[in-house]
A and B are shown apart, each in its own frame.
Chain A
Amino acid sequence: MREVPLVELHRRYGGSLGEFGGWLTSFDFRDPVAEHLAVRKAVAFFDVSHMGRFVLRGGRVLDFLQRLFAKDLSKVGEGYMSGPVLLLNEDAGMIDDVMLYRVREDLWYAVVNAPRISRDFEWLSSWRGRLGFSDVEIEDVTGSTTLIAIQGPKALEVVEGLGVKEAGSLRILQFVENVEVLGGRATLVSRSGWTGEEVRSHGFEIWAPVELGWRIFEKLVELGVRPAGLIARDILRLEAGYLLSGVDFNESTNPIEARYWMAFDLDKQGYVGYEKLEARYREGVERVRVGLRFKKGVRVVPRHGDPIVVGGTEVGHVTSGTYSTYLERAIAMGYVSSRYAYIGGTVHVNCRGKLYEAKIVEPPFI
Protein backbone atom coordinates (compact mmCIF):
# COMPACT_ATOMS: atom_id res chain seq x y z
CA MET A 1 0.00 0.00 0.00
CA ARG A 2 1.24 3.50 -0.87
CA GLU A 3 0.67 6.54 1.31
CA VAL A 4 -0.64 9.79 -0.13
CA PRO A 5 2.21 12.33 -0.04
CA LEU A 6 0.49 14.48 2.60
CA VAL A 7 -0.43 11.59 4.90
CA GLU A 8 1.36 13.27 7.84
CA LEU A 9 -1.05 16.22 7.59
CA HIS A 10 -4.00 13.82 7.42
CA ARG A 11 -2.80 12.33 10.70
CA ARG A 12 -2.20 15.71 12.28
CA TYR A 13 -5.69 16.97 11.48
CA GLY A 14 -7.58 13.89 12.63
CA GLY A 15 -7.88 11.86 9.45
CA SER A 16 -9.09 8.32 10.01
CA LEU A 17 -6.90 6.46 7.61
CA GLY A 18 -7.78 3.45 5.54
CA GLU A 19 -6.97 1.79 2.27
CA PHE A 20 -8.62 2.87 -0.97
CA GLY A 21 -7.43 1.73 -4.36
CA GLY A 22 -4.03 0.78 -2.99
CA TRP A 23 -3.53 4.07 -1.14
CA LEU A 24 -3.56 4.96 2.52
CA THR A 25 -5.74 8.06 2.79
CA SER A 26 -8.49 9.56 4.97
CA PHE A 27 -11.99 8.14 5.05
CA ASP A 28 -13.05 11.06 7.17
CA PHE A 29 -11.75 13.72 9.50
CA ARG A 30 -13.91 12.55 12.43
CA ASP A 31 -17.27 13.74 11.15
CA PRO A 32 -18.19 12.68 7.59
CA VAL A 33 -21.71 14.03 7.88
CA ALA A 34 -20.53 17.52 8.83
CA GLU A 35 -17.89 17.34 6.09
CA HIS A 36 -20.57 16.52 3.55
CA LEU A 37 -22.82 19.35 4.71
CA ALA A 38 -19.89 21.77 4.65
CA VAL A 39 -19.48 21.12 0.92
CA ARG A 40 -23.20 21.54 0.23
CA LYS A 41 -23.58 24.67 2.34
CA ALA A 42 -20.19 26.38 2.54
CA VAL A 43 -16.83 24.86 1.66
CA ALA A 44 -14.49 21.98 2.48
CA PHE A 45 -11.43 20.51 0.85
CA PHE A 46 -10.32 17.05 -0.17
CA ASP A 47 -6.80 15.81 -0.67
CA VAL A 48 -7.42 13.61 -3.71
CA SER A 49 -3.76 12.92 -4.39
CA HIS A 50 -4.57 9.21 -4.52
CA MET A 51 -6.08 9.79 -7.96
CA GLY A 52 -3.80 8.76 -10.78
CA ARG A 53 -2.13 11.43 -12.89
CA PHE A 54 -0.45 10.90 -16.24
CA VAL A 55 1.35 13.34 -18.50
CA LEU A 56 1.18 12.62 -22.24
CA ARG A 57 3.54 14.37 -24.63
CA GLY A 58 4.35 14.36 -28.32
CA GLY A 59 3.27 15.76 -31.65
CA ARG A 60 0.71 12.97 -32.21
CA VAL A 61 -0.80 12.80 -28.71
CA LEU A 62 -4.23 13.91 -29.84
CA ASP A 63 -4.32 11.27 -32.62
CA PHE A 64 -3.31 8.65 -30.09
CA LEU A 65 -5.97 9.69 -27.56
CA GLN A 66 -8.59 9.76 -30.30
CA ARG A 67 -7.91 6.07 -31.00
CA LEU A 68 -8.49 5.07 -27.39
CA PHE A 69 -11.04 7.39 -25.83
CA ALA A 70 -14.75 7.22 -26.56
CA LYS A 71 -15.29 10.93 -27.21
CA ASP A 72 -14.15 13.39 -29.82
CA LEU A 73 -11.31 15.11 -28.03
CA SER A 74 -10.61 17.53 -30.86
CA LYS A 75 -13.56 19.46 -29.43
CA VAL A 76 -11.74 20.07 -26.16
CA GLY A 77 -10.28 23.57 -26.25
CA GLU A 78 -6.82 24.45 -25.09
CA GLY A 79 -6.93 25.14 -21.36
CA TYR A 80 -10.03 23.01 -20.86
CA MET A 81 -10.80 19.64 -19.33
CA SER A 82 -12.78 17.04 -21.24
CA GLY A 83 -15.23 15.97 -18.54
CA PRO A 84 -15.24 12.22 -17.88
CA VAL A 85 -14.32 10.20 -20.97
CA LEU A 86 -14.39 6.42 -21.20
CA LEU A 87 -11.57 4.08 -21.95
CA LEU A 88 -13.13 0.89 -23.35
CA ASN A 89 -11.78 -2.58 -23.95
CA GLU A 90 -12.40 -4.30 -27.31
CA ASP A 91 -15.61 -5.75 -25.94
CA ALA A 92 -16.89 -2.24 -25.06
CA GLY A 93 -16.40 -2.97 -21.35
CA MET A 94 -15.51 0.08 -19.31
CA ILE A 95 -11.89 0.12 -18.15
CA ASP A 96 -12.15 3.54 -16.54
CA ASP A 97 -13.55 7.03 -16.85
CA VAL A 98 -10.77 9.53 -17.23
CA MET A 99 -10.52 13.32 -17.09
CA LEU A 100 -8.30 14.70 -19.85
CA TYR A 101 -6.72 18.14 -19.80
CA ARG A 102 -5.66 19.73 -23.06
CA VAL A 103 -2.71 21.90 -22.16
CA ARG A 104 -1.53 22.21 -25.76
CA GLU A 105 -1.99 20.18 -28.91
CA ASP A 106 1.08 18.12 -27.95
CA LEU A 107 0.70 18.10 -24.17
CA TRP A 108 -2.21 16.50 -22.29
CA TYR A 109 -2.76 15.49 -18.68
CA ALA A 110 -4.99 12.67 -17.53
CA VAL A 111 -6.55 12.11 -14.11
CA VAL A 112 -7.65 8.50 -13.57
CA ASN A 113 -9.28 6.57 -10.74
CA ALA A 114 -6.96 5.31 -8.02
CA PRO A 115 -7.86 1.59 -8.26
CA ARG A 116 -7.25 1.72 -12.04
CA ILE A 117 -3.89 3.50 -12.22
CA SER A 118 -1.80 0.53 -13.29
CA ARG A 119 -4.51 -0.97 -15.50
CA ASP A 120 -4.99 2.33 -17.35
CA PHE A 121 -1.26 2.92 -17.65
CA GLU A 122 -0.61 -0.55 -19.03
CA TRP A 123 -3.56 -0.29 -21.39
CA LEU A 124 -2.38 3.04 -22.80
CA SER A 125 1.21 1.83 -23.04
CA SER A 126 0.32 -1.39 -24.80
CA TRP A 127 -1.85 0.38 -27.40
CA ARG A 128 0.86 2.96 -27.87
CA GLY A 129 3.02 0.09 -29.14
CA ARG A 130 0.28 -1.72 -31.06
CA LEU A 131 -0.85 1.41 -32.88
CA GLY A 132 2.67 2.62 -33.63
CA PHE A 133 2.68 5.73 -31.47
CA SER A 134 6.18 5.19 -30.08
CA ASP A 135 6.77 8.94 -30.34
CA VAL A 136 4.06 9.55 -27.70
CA GLU A 137 5.45 9.72 -24.18
CA ILE A 138 3.33 8.61 -21.23
CA GLU A 139 4.53 9.40 -17.73
CA ASP A 140 2.85 8.43 -14.47
CA VAL A 141 3.37 11.33 -12.04
CA THR A 142 1.01 10.05 -9.32
CA GLY A 143 2.66 10.15 -5.93
CA SER A 144 5.12 12.86 -6.83
CA THR A 145 2.46 15.57 -6.93
CA THR A 146 -0.63 16.51 -4.91
CA LEU A 147 -4.19 17.23 -6.00
CA ILE A 148 -6.39 19.24 -3.68
CA ALA A 149 -10.07 19.82 -4.40
CA ILE A 150 -11.74 22.83 -2.78
CA GLN A 151 -15.49 22.37 -3.09
CA GLY A 152 -18.64 24.19 -2.10
CA PRO A 153 -20.41 27.52 -2.73
CA LYS A 154 -17.68 29.42 -0.87
CA ALA A 155 -14.81 27.79 -2.76
CA LEU A 156 -14.11 30.84 -4.90
CA GLU A 157 -13.37 33.14 -1.98
CA VAL A 158 -11.14 30.51 -0.43
CA VAL A 159 -9.15 30.00 -3.63
CA GLU A 160 -8.83 33.77 -3.99
CA GLY A 161 -7.66 33.74 -0.37
CA LEU A 162 -4.81 31.47 -1.50
CA GLY A 163 -3.79 34.23 -3.89
CA VAL A 164 -5.07 32.69 -7.12
CA LYS A 165 -6.03 35.85 -9.00
CA GLU A 166 -7.35 34.01 -12.06
CA ALA A 167 -9.86 31.93 -10.08
CA GLY A 168 -12.88 34.16 -10.59
CA SER A 169 -12.52 34.29 -14.36
CA LEU A 170 -12.30 30.51 -14.88
CA ARG A 171 -15.24 28.85 -16.57
CA ILE A 172 -16.46 25.38 -15.67
CA LEU A 173 -13.80 22.81 -16.69
CA GLN A 174 -11.35 25.55 -17.59
CA PHE A 175 -7.89 25.60 -16.06
CA VAL A 176 -4.83 27.79 -15.87
CA GLU A 177 -1.31 26.45 -15.81
CA ASN A 178 1.76 27.42 -13.87
CA VAL A 179 -0.19 29.46 -11.35
CA GLU A 180 1.25 31.38 -8.44
CA VAL A 181 -0.23 30.05 -5.20
CA LEU A 182 1.13 31.07 -1.77
CA GLY A 183 4.32 32.21 -3.39
CA GLY A 184 4.89 28.84 -5.07
CA ARG A 185 4.01 27.51 -8.50
CA ALA A 186 1.07 25.15 -8.95
CA THR A 187 1.04 22.97 -12.06
CA LEU A 188 -2.55 24.01 -12.64
CA VAL A 189 -5.72 25.30 -11.06
CA SER A 190 -9.03 24.20 -12.56
CA ARG A 191 -12.67 24.98 -11.98
CA SER A 192 -13.92 21.48 -11.45
CA GLY A 193 -14.77 18.79 -8.95
CA TRP A 194 -16.77 15.68 -8.47
CA THR A 195 -19.30 16.80 -5.95
CA GLY A 196 -22.34 17.85 -7.92
CA GLU A 197 -23.79 20.01 -10.63
CA GLU A 198 -24.74 22.98 -8.47
CA VAL A 199 -21.48 22.84 -6.60
CA ARG A 200 -19.21 21.89 -9.45
CA SER A 201 -19.49 25.31 -10.96
CA HIS A 202 -17.99 26.67 -7.76
CA GLY A 203 -15.40 23.99 -7.10
CA PHE A 204 -11.68 24.19 -7.79
CA GLU A 205 -8.85 21.71 -7.98
CA ILE A 206 -5.20 22.53 -7.49
CA TRP A 207 -2.52 20.28 -8.85
CA ALA A 208 0.75 21.14 -7.14
CA PRO A 209 4.20 19.83 -6.20
CA VAL A 210 4.26 18.07 -2.82
CA GLU A 211 5.96 20.92 -0.95
CA LEU A 212 3.41 23.46 -2.18
CA GLY A 213 0.52 21.04 -1.64
CA TRP A 214 1.67 20.75 1.97
CA ARG A 215 1.52 24.52 2.41
CA ILE A 216 -1.88 24.75 0.69
CA PHE A 217 -3.30 22.06 3.01
CA GLU A 218 -2.02 23.91 6.09
CA LYS A 219 -3.20 27.29 4.82
CA LEU A 220 -6.68 25.94 4.16
CA VAL A 221 -6.89 24.61 7.71
CA GLU A 222 -5.65 27.97 8.97
CA LEU A 223 -8.38 29.71 6.94
CA GLY A 224 -10.92 27.54 8.74
CA VAL A 225 -11.71 25.31 5.77
CA ARG A 226 -12.59 21.82 6.93
CA PRO A 227 -10.69 18.85 5.49
CA ALA A 228 -13.05 16.14 4.24
CA GLY A 229 -12.57 12.46 3.50
CA LEU A 230 -13.73 9.73 1.16
CA ILE A 231 -17.02 9.00 2.94
CA ALA A 232 -18.25 12.57 2.46
CA ARG A 233 -16.98 12.50 -1.10
CA ASP A 234 -18.89 9.31 -1.81
CA ILE A 235 -22.16 10.78 -0.48
CA LEU A 236 -21.62 13.91 -2.58
CA ARG A 237 -20.92 12.06 -5.80
CA LEU A 238 -23.91 9.79 -5.25
CA GLU A 239 -26.20 12.77 -4.72
CA ALA A 240 -24.83 14.15 -7.96
CA GLY A 241 -25.48 10.82 -9.69
CA TYR A 242 -21.86 10.24 -10.69
CA LEU A 243 -20.70 6.68 -11.22
CA LEU A 244 -17.76 5.32 -9.29
CA SER A 245 -15.29 3.27 -11.29
CA GLY A 246 -15.02 -0.29 -9.98
CA VAL A 247 -18.21 0.07 -7.93
CA ASP A 248 -20.93 1.20 -10.34
CA PHE A 249 -19.16 -0.15 -13.38
CA ASN A 250 -16.25 -2.35 -14.31
CA GLU A 251 -14.86 -4.02 -17.41
CA SER A 252 -17.85 -6.31 -17.71
CA THR A 253 -20.27 -3.37 -17.82
CA ASN A 254 -20.84 -1.47 -21.05
CA PRO A 255 -21.62 2.24 -21.22
CA ILE A 256 -25.04 1.69 -22.80
CA GLU A 257 -26.39 -0.28 -19.86
CA ALA A 258 -24.65 2.15 -17.50
CA ARG A 259 -26.29 4.98 -19.47
CA TYR A 260 -23.07 6.86 -19.09
CA TRP A 261 -23.99 9.15 -21.96
CA MET A 262 -21.80 12.08 -21.00
CA ALA A 263 -18.65 9.96 -21.23
CA PHE A 264 -18.89 8.50 -24.74
CA ASP A 265 -20.00 9.43 -28.20
CA LEU A 266 -21.50 7.09 -30.79
CA ASP A 267 -21.10 9.70 -33.53
CA LYS A 268 -17.37 9.27 -33.28
CA GLN A 269 -15.87 6.13 -34.79
CA GLY A 270 -12.51 4.41 -34.90
CA TYR A 271 -11.74 4.08 -31.21
CA VAL A 272 -11.07 0.83 -29.40
CA GLY A 273 -14.37 -0.78 -28.43
CA TYR A 274 -16.49 1.26 -30.85
CA GLU A 275 -17.76 -1.65 -32.97
CA LYS A 276 -18.99 -3.63 -29.98
CA LEU A 277 -20.42 -0.50 -28.41
CA GLU A 278 -22.39 0.34 -31.52
CA ALA A 279 -23.66 -3.25 -31.69
CA ARG A 280 -24.77 -3.15 -28.08
CA TYR A 281 -26.73 0.01 -28.74
CA ARG A 282 -28.32 -1.48 -31.85
CA GLU A 283 -29.16 -4.83 -30.27
CA GLY A 284 -30.32 -3.44 -26.95
CA VAL A 285 -29.13 -4.30 -23.47
CA GLU A 286 -30.43 -6.69 -20.81
CA ARG A 287 -30.12 -4.34 -17.86
CA VAL A 288 -29.82 -0.62 -17.26
CA ARG A 289 -28.53 1.59 -14.48
CA VAL A 290 -31.15 3.56 -12.58
CA GLY A 291 -31.32 5.84 -9.57
CA LEU A 292 -33.28 4.71 -6.51
CA ARG A 293 -34.87 7.24 -4.20
CA PHE A 294 -36.07 5.89 -0.86
CA LYS A 295 -38.83 7.41 1.23
CA LYS A 296 -38.05 10.48 3.22
CA GLY A 297 -37.03 9.81 6.80
CA VAL A 298 -36.47 6.07 6.30
CA ARG A 299 -33.05 5.50 7.77
CA VAL A 300 -31.25 2.77 5.92
CA VAL A 301 -27.99 2.46 4.01
CA PRO A 302 -28.49 0.48 0.80
CA ARG A 303 -25.26 -1.32 -0.02
CA HIS A 304 -23.49 -2.84 -2.99
CA GLY A 305 -25.21 -6.10 -3.92
CA ASP A 306 -28.56 -5.49 -2.20
CA PRO A 307 -31.29 -7.08 -4.38
CA ILE A 308 -33.89 -4.92 -6.15
CA VAL A 309 -37.26 -6.63 -6.09
CA VAL A 310 -40.56 -6.26 -7.94
CA GLY A 311 -43.47 -8.35 -6.66
CA GLY A 312 -41.21 -10.94 -5.11
CA THR A 313 -38.98 -11.26 -8.16
CA GLU A 314 -35.40 -10.11 -8.07
CA VAL A 315 -34.95 -7.74 -11.01
CA GLY A 316 -31.56 -6.25 -10.25
CA HIS A 317 -29.13 -5.13 -7.59
CA VAL A 318 -27.75 -2.02 -5.98
CA THR A 319 -24.21 -0.96 -6.88
CA SER A 320 -23.87 1.92 -4.44
CA GLY A 321 -26.03 3.61 -1.87
CA THR A 322 -25.96 5.89 1.10
CA TYR A 323 -28.10 7.73 3.58
CA SER A 324 -27.98 11.45 2.86
CA THR A 325 -28.58 13.62 5.90
CA TYR A 326 -28.82 16.56 3.49
CA LEU A 327 -31.74 14.96 1.62
CA GLU A 328 -32.97 13.13 4.74
CA ARG A 329 -33.39 9.95 2.79
CA ALA A 330 -31.49 7.00 1.43
CA ILE A 331 -30.41 7.11 -2.20
CA ALA A 332 -28.80 4.49 -4.37
CA MET A 333 -27.97 3.46 -7.88
CA GLY A 334 -28.08 0.03 -9.33
CA TYR A 335 -28.87 -2.07 -12.36
CA VAL A 336 -32.31 -3.47 -13.16
CA SER A 337 -33.49 -5.74 -15.92
CA SER A 338 -34.46 -3.52 -18.88
CA ARG A 339 -38.02 -4.85 -18.70
CA TYR A 340 -38.41 -3.29 -15.26
CA ALA A 341 -36.58 -0.02 -15.78
CA TYR A 342 -39.65 2.17 -15.41
CA ILE A 343 -38.64 5.67 -14.44
CA GLY A 344 -41.12 6.73 -11.77
CA GLY A 345 -42.03 3.15 -10.91
CA THR A 346 -41.89 1.68 -7.43
CA VAL A 347 -39.60 -1.19 -6.48
CA HIS A 348 -38.37 -2.66 -3.22
CA VAL A 349 -34.80 -3.03 -2.12
CA ASN A 350 -33.84 -5.88 0.16
CA CYS A 351 -31.42 -4.44 2.68
CA ARG A 352 -30.24 -7.28 4.90
CA GLY A 353 -33.52 -9.15 4.87
CA LYS A 354 -35.87 -6.18 5.11
CA LEU A 355 -37.72 -4.71 2.16
CA TYR A 356 -37.65 -0.94 1.66
CA GLU A 357 -39.73 0.91 -0.88
CA ALA A 358 -37.89 3.01 -3.44
CA LYS A 359 -38.77 4.89 -6.57
CA ILE A 360 -36.82 4.49 -9.78
CA VAL A 361 -35.60 7.94 -10.70
CA GLU A 362 -33.22 9.67 -13.04
CA PRO A 363 -30.20 10.97 -11.08
CA PRO A 364 -29.00 13.50 -9.95
CA PHE A 365 -30.73 13.39 -6.60
CA ILE A 366 -29.93 17.01 -5.72
Chain B
Amino acid sequence: MLVKTRVGEYLVREDLYYTDTDEWVRISGDEAVVGITDYAQKKLRYVVSIELSRPGREVRRGEVIATLESVKAIADVYSPLDGLLVEVNEFLTSSPDAINKDPYGAGWIARLRVTGTLPKLMSPEEYAEYIRKREGSG
Protein backbone atom coordinates (compact mmCIF):
# COMPACT_ATOMS: atom_id res chain seq x y z
CA MET B 1 0.00 0.00 0.00
CA LEU B 2 1.27 3.44 -0.90
CA VAL B 3 1.46 5.51 2.26
CA LYS B 4 3.05 8.65 0.88
CA THR B 5 2.35 10.89 -2.01
CA ARG B 6 4.19 13.97 -3.17
CA VAL B 7 2.72 17.23 -4.34
CA GLY B 8 5.72 19.02 -5.71
CA GLU B 9 8.14 19.13 -2.79
CA TYR B 10 5.38 18.46 -0.23
CA LEU B 11 4.72 15.12 1.36
CA VAL B 12 1.14 14.01 2.02
CA ARG B 13 0.66 10.77 3.91
CA GLU B 14 -2.13 8.51 2.81
CA ASP B 15 -2.98 7.21 6.27
CA LEU B 16 -3.96 10.57 7.75
CA TYR B 17 -6.79 13.09 7.63
CA TYR B 18 -6.26 16.80 7.09
CA THR B 19 -7.74 20.20 7.84
CA ASP B 20 -7.91 23.35 5.76
CA THR B 21 -5.63 25.00 8.34
CA ASP B 22 -2.90 22.45 7.52
CA GLU B 23 -3.08 20.13 10.50
CA TRP B 24 -2.92 16.37 10.08
CA VAL B 25 -4.90 13.96 12.27
CA ARG B 26 -4.27 10.28 12.89
CA ILE B 27 -7.41 8.64 14.25
CA SER B 28 -7.38 5.25 15.95
CA GLY B 29 -10.44 4.32 17.99
CA ASP B 30 -11.38 7.34 20.09
CA GLU B 31 -7.85 8.73 20.04
CA ALA B 32 -6.56 11.43 17.71
CA VAL B 33 -2.96 12.56 17.27
CA VAL B 34 -2.46 15.98 15.71
CA GLY B 35 0.45 17.75 14.04
CA ILE B 36 1.11 20.17 11.22
CA THR B 37 1.65 19.00 7.67
CA ASP B 38 4.86 18.92 5.68
CA TYR B 39 3.38 21.70 3.56
CA ALA B 40 2.79 23.85 6.66
CA GLN B 41 6.27 23.31 8.08
CA LYS B 42 7.90 24.06 4.74
CA LYS B 43 5.94 27.29 4.47
CA LEU B 44 6.87 28.28 8.01
CA ARG B 45 10.53 27.31 7.64
CA TYR B 46 12.70 26.80 10.70
CA VAL B 47 10.55 26.59 13.84
CA VAL B 48 12.25 28.44 16.69
CA SER B 49 9.78 27.86 19.48
CA ILE B 50 6.44 26.37 20.37
CA GLU B 51 3.93 27.25 23.01
CA LEU B 52 1.79 24.26 23.97
CA SER B 53 -1.60 24.23 25.65
CA ARG B 54 -1.82 22.60 29.03
CA PRO B 55 -3.30 19.11 28.73
CA GLY B 56 -6.28 17.87 30.72
CA ARG B 57 -8.91 20.19 29.33
CA GLU B 58 -11.69 20.00 26.82
CA VAL B 59 -11.06 21.75 23.54
CA ARG B 60 -13.45 22.62 20.75
CA ARG B 61 -12.80 22.27 17.08
CA GLY B 62 -10.94 25.34 15.84
CA GLU B 63 -9.53 26.20 19.27
CA VAL B 64 -5.83 27.06 19.44
CA ILE B 65 -3.86 24.20 20.99
CA ALA B 66 -0.34 25.43 20.20
CA THR B 67 1.43 28.45 18.76
CA LEU B 68 4.52 28.07 16.61
CA GLU B 69 7.09 30.69 16.01
CA SER B 70 9.41 30.37 13.05
CA VAL B 71 12.06 32.62 11.56
CA LYS B 72 9.37 33.61 9.11
CA ALA B 73 6.09 33.86 10.97
CA ILE B 74 3.91 33.03 13.94
CA ALA B 75 1.25 30.38 13.40
CA ASP B 76 -1.50 28.92 15.54
CA VAL B 77 -2.27 25.22 15.52
CA TYR B 78 -5.98 24.47 15.80
CA SER B 79 -7.73 21.46 17.22
CA PRO B 80 -9.31 19.61 14.32
CA LEU B 81 -12.08 18.22 16.50
CA ASP B 82 -13.92 18.40 19.83
CA GLY B 83 -12.11 16.39 22.46
CA LEU B 84 -10.12 16.12 25.64
CA LEU B 85 -6.53 17.27 25.33
CA VAL B 86 -4.76 14.25 26.81
CA GLU B 87 -1.12 14.97 26.10
CA VAL B 88 1.11 17.50 24.36
CA ASN B 89 4.53 16.74 22.93
CA GLU B 90 6.82 18.30 25.56
CA PHE B 91 9.87 17.21 23.58
CA LEU B 92 9.10 20.05 21.16
CA THR B 93 9.73 22.67 23.84
CA SER B 94 13.46 21.92 23.71
CA SER B 95 13.57 20.69 20.08
CA PRO B 96 10.89 22.60 18.18
CA ASP B 97 12.66 21.96 14.90
CA ALA B 98 11.54 18.31 15.14
CA ILE B 99 8.48 19.75 13.41
CA ASN B 100 10.69 20.57 10.44
CA LYS B 101 12.66 17.36 10.52
CA ASP B 102 9.79 14.93 11.03
CA PRO B 103 6.39 16.66 10.84
CA TYR B 104 4.39 13.41 10.75
CA GLY B 105 6.44 11.61 13.40
CA ALA B 106 8.58 13.10 16.17
CA GLY B 107 7.02 16.47 15.40
CA TRP B 108 3.51 15.48 16.54
CA ILE B 109 1.93 18.18 18.69
CA ALA B 110 -1.02 16.86 20.68
CA ARG B 111 -3.01 13.76 21.55
CA LEU B 112 -6.76 14.07 22.07
CA ARG B 113 -9.58 11.80 23.13
CA VAL B 114 -12.45 12.34 20.77
CA THR B 115 -15.55 13.34 22.72
CA GLY B 116 -17.90 14.69 20.10
CA THR B 117 -18.84 13.40 16.70
CA LEU B 118 -16.02 13.46 14.18
CA PRO B 119 -16.20 16.48 11.94
CA LYS B 120 -15.69 16.29 8.21
CA LEU B 121 -11.95 16.18 7.56
CA MET B 122 -10.08 16.16 4.29
CA SER B 123 -8.89 12.94 2.75
CA PRO B 124 -5.25 12.77 1.55
CA GLU B 125 -6.49 13.23 -2.03
CA GLU B 126 -8.53 16.29 -1.08
CA TYR B 127 -5.63 17.76 0.86
CA ALA B 128 -3.23 17.15 -2.05
CA GLU B 129 -5.68 18.97 -4.29
CA TYR B 130 -5.93 21.78 -1.72
CA ILE B 131 -2.12 22.22 -1.84
CA ARG B 132 -2.14 22.21 -5.64
CA LYS B 133 -4.82 24.87 -5.73
CA ARG B 134 -2.88 27.19 -3.43
CA GLU B 135 0.43 26.59 -5.16
CA GLY B 136 -1.13 27.18 -8.53
CA SER B 137 -2.67 30.47 -7.49
CA GLY B 138 0.49 31.81 -6.19
B9, B71, B74: the one within 8 Å of A32 (CB): B71
How many Å from the CB of A12 to the closest CB on chain B? 13
Q: Are B69 and A300 in contact (CB under 8 A)?
A: yes
Chain B contacts for A300, CB-based, 8 A: 48-49, 69
Q: Which of A299, A325, A352 has the most CB of B within 10 A?
A: A299
Neighbour of A27 across the interface among B42, B48, B72, CB < 8 A: B72
The reply to whether the CB of A69 lies closer than 8 angstroms to some CB of chain B is no
A231 contacts the other chain (Cβ, under 8 Å)?
Answer: yes
The one of B9, B46, B71, B74 in contact with A352, judged by C-beta atoms closer than 8 angstroms, is B74
A323 x B72 contact (CB < 8 A): no
- Looking at the complex, which one of B45, B49, B69 makes contact with A28 (CB distance below 8 Å)? B45
Beta-carbon contact of B45 and A301 below 8 Å: no
A303-341 near B? 1/0 per residue, CB < 8 Å? 000000000000000000011010000000000000000
B103 neighbours in A (Cβ, 8 Å): none
Q: Are A301 and B69 closer than 8 Å at their CB atoms? A: yes
Separation of A28 and B46 alpha carbons in the complex (Å) = 11
Structural contact, B49 and A301, CB atoms closer than 8 A: yes
Tell me which residues across on chain B come within 8 A of A33, comparing CB atoms: 45-46, 71
CB distance from A236 to the nearest CB of B (A): 12
Bound CA–CA A231/B102 (angstroms): 22
Asked if A32 and B45 sit within 8 Å, CB to CB, the answer is yes
A231/B48 in contact, CB under 8 A: no
The residues in A between 262 and 303 inclusive whose CB is less than 8 angstroms from any CB of B are: 299-301
Contact A301 B46 (CB under 8 A): no
* A231 and B49 form a contact (CB under 8 A): no
Query: How far does the alpha carbon of A30 sit from the alpha carbon of B44 in the complex, in Å?
Result: 10
Are A231 and B45 closer than 8 Å at their CB atoms? yes
Asked if B107 is at the interface (CB within 8 A of a chain A CB), the reply is: no
Contacts of A299 in B (CB 8 A): 48-49, 69, 96
Q: Does residue A235 face the partner (Cβ distance < 8 Å to B)?
A: yes
Chain B, interface size: which category?
10 to 19
- Determine whether the beta carbon of A323 is less than 8 Å from that of B96: no
Question: How would residues 49 to 80 of chain B score, 1 for a CB under 8 Å from any chain A CB and 0 otherwise?
Answer: 10000000000000000000111101000000
Instruction: Considering the complex, give the chain A residue whose CB is closest to the CB of B74.
Output: A352
Bound: A323/B49 CA distance, A: 10
- Contact between chains at A235 and B49 (CB < 8 Å): no
CB distance from B53 to the nearest CB of A (A): 15
CB atoms of B71 and A322 under 8 A apart? yes
Residues of B within 8 A of A231 (CB): 45, 71-72
Quick one: closest A residue to B95, CB to CB? A299
Q: Which of B42, B48, B70 has the most CB of A within 10 A?
A: B48
A323's closest neighbor in chain B, by CB? Answer: B48
Q: Answer whether A235 and B71 are a contact pair too, CB < 8 Å, given A300-B49, A301-B48.
A: yes
Name the distance in Å between B82's Cβ and chain A's nearest Cβ. 26
- From 1 to 56 in chain A, residues with beta carbon under 8 angstroms from any chain B beta carbon are 14, 27-28, 30-33
Chain A nearest CB: distance from B8 CB in Å? 11
Q: State the CA gap A28–B9 with chains docked (Å).
A: 15
B96: chain A residues at CB < 8 Å are 299
Give Cα A14 to B8, complex, Å: 11
The chain A residue sitting closest to B70, CB to CB, is A301
Query: Residues of B contacting A14 with CB < 8 Å?
Result: 9
- Residues of B11-56 whose CB lies within 8 A of A: 42, 45-46, 48-49
Q: How far is the CA of A235 from the CA of B45 in the complex (A)?
A: 14
B-chain residues with CB within 8 Å of residue A31 when the two chains form the complex = 45-46
Distance of A323 Cα from B69 Cα, bound (Å)? 10
Q: Are B74 and A323 in contact (CB under 8 A)?
A: no
Q: How far is the CB of B11 from chain A (nearest CB, A)?
A: 14
Chain B residues, Cβ within 8 Å of A301: 48-49, 69-71, 74
CB distance from A354 to the nearest CB of B (A): 8
**A238 → B minimal CB distance (Å):** 11
Contacts of B74 in A (CB 8 A): 301, 352
Query: Which A residues have a C-beta under 8 Å from some C-beta of B?
Result: 14, 27-28, 30-33, 231, 235, 299-301, 322-323, 325, 352
- B residues bordering A, Cβ < 8 Å? 9, 42, 45-46, 48-49, 69-72, 74, 96
What 9 A-B pairs have minimum CB-CB distances, sorted nearest first? A299-B49, A323-B48, A33-B46, A299-B48, A301-B69, A301-B48, A231-B71, A32-B45, A32-B71
Residue contacts A-B, CB under 8 angstroms, 22 given:
A14-B9, A28-B45, A30-B9, A30-B42, A31-B45, A31-B46, A32-B46, A32-B72, A33-B46, A235-B71, A299-B48, A299-B49, A299-B96, A300-B49, A301-B48, A301-B69, A301-B74, A322-B71, A323-B48, A323-B71, A325-B46, A352-B74
